[in-house]
Amino acid sequence: MARTRDIRDEKTDVVQALVDTAFNDASQRPKIARLLFGDHPVGPPTGNWPPPTIAGRDRANSESRAAALAARARLRALGTKHLYTTLHELPQVRLAWHPLRAEQAIPPAPLVYSLISFDDWRALVTLASYAFPSTVKKVFDEEIRRHLLRRLNAFAALEVNLWWFAANGGYAGPPPYAVRYDLARWLWHPSITGTIFCIRCGDELRYERRARPEARTARCRRCSRGPANDWPPHAVEPHCRGTWLLRCTHDGCSDIFVGRRQAQHCRRHRLNRLTSSMRRPTT
């Protein structure tokens, strides 16, 4: 996989054969994914971020499908057929359309998945299959693994760019928390330079210098005040800088709304919209 020397051996040849089989036979993909990655293929991103909930991943699926449509429309309007990458072996990727299904688990880079050709997506999966499975962890030293992760990060940068096209195509809102979370754990590592989304606010975050991994919490400078997991008790997940997805605290209501940390009620149950008999007494 590396350009400077051959890093393959008997173990990695087995991994490559499994990847090839998974791409050539869709019925084998779930079995091969479990074999390669197991139930916990990669750890959480640095910074003690809570994992997305099932409902959060469902929201991320819906929002990613809408963003992919917006990005596709914008790219079509520009007449764009290819996007450039920083990979020497894959300097550009071809645009193609195979959107997420509503019931599908979102991949680590959902817009990349939806908008680039299957062969180019295969390069991402192959790199991940070399970087993470325990089968090959003892094969590569730390420098080679960082090299693999830096190459994987080229697809994270591509995902960031595609969300920019989505915003210019009319999509409103930040990348969902589940997308930010997965991008940071699958296509980046705190030991490398690279590009991801700030997990807190969704803005583009670029690390341009090597640093101690423990010094990085996947938050941009403006979001780096206070602990990463300092969530309001009724917060579902981060939204933009200064706002959250919050669960309404009114009795019997489970609606989710966007607000600042001190907001307690959805629009329907804000106190200034309720009659005095509907307000909960304060103690």
- Alpha-carbon gap, residue 234 to 201, rounded angstroms: 18
Instruction: Report CA-CA distances (Å) from 214 to 41, 184, 189, 201.
Output: 21, 14, 11, 20
Q: What is the pLDDT of residues 269-282, one digit of tens each?
A: 886 554 555 555 44
Q: What local confidence, expressed as pLDDT, does residue 75 receive?
A: 97
Closest CA to 137 of 15, 228, 245: 15
Does 40 score more than 70 pLDDT?
no
Q: What local confidence, expressed as pLDDT, does residue 191 receive?
A: 84
Closest CA to 204 of 236, 180, 228, 171: 180
- Exposure b/e, 131-147, CB count within 10 A at least 16 = b: bbbebbeebbeeebbbb
Q: What is the pLDDT of residues 220-245, one digit of tens each?
A: 888 887 665 578 889 999 999 889 99
pTM for this model (two decimals): 0.86
Q: What local confidence, expressed as pLDDT, does residue 215 receive?
A: 65
Alpha carbon 115 to chain centroid, angstroms: 15
Strands 256-259 and 204-207: unpaired
Q: In sequence order, what are the beta bridge partners of 256?
A: 247
- Alpha-carbon gap, residue 10 to 15, rounded angstroms: 9
CB 247 within 8 A of CB 266: no
SS3 110: helix
Q: Which residue has the higher pLDDT, 87 or 46?
A: 87
The mean pLDDT value of the chain amounts to: 85
Q: What local confidence, expressed as pLDDT, does residue 5 receive?
A: 41
Beta-carbon count within 10 A of 101 CB:
9
Q: In sequence order, what are the beta bridge partners of 95?
A: 116
The predicted model gives 65-93 an average pLDDT of: 95
- Using alpha carbons only, give the angle 244, 247, 253 rounded to the nearest 5 degrees: 155
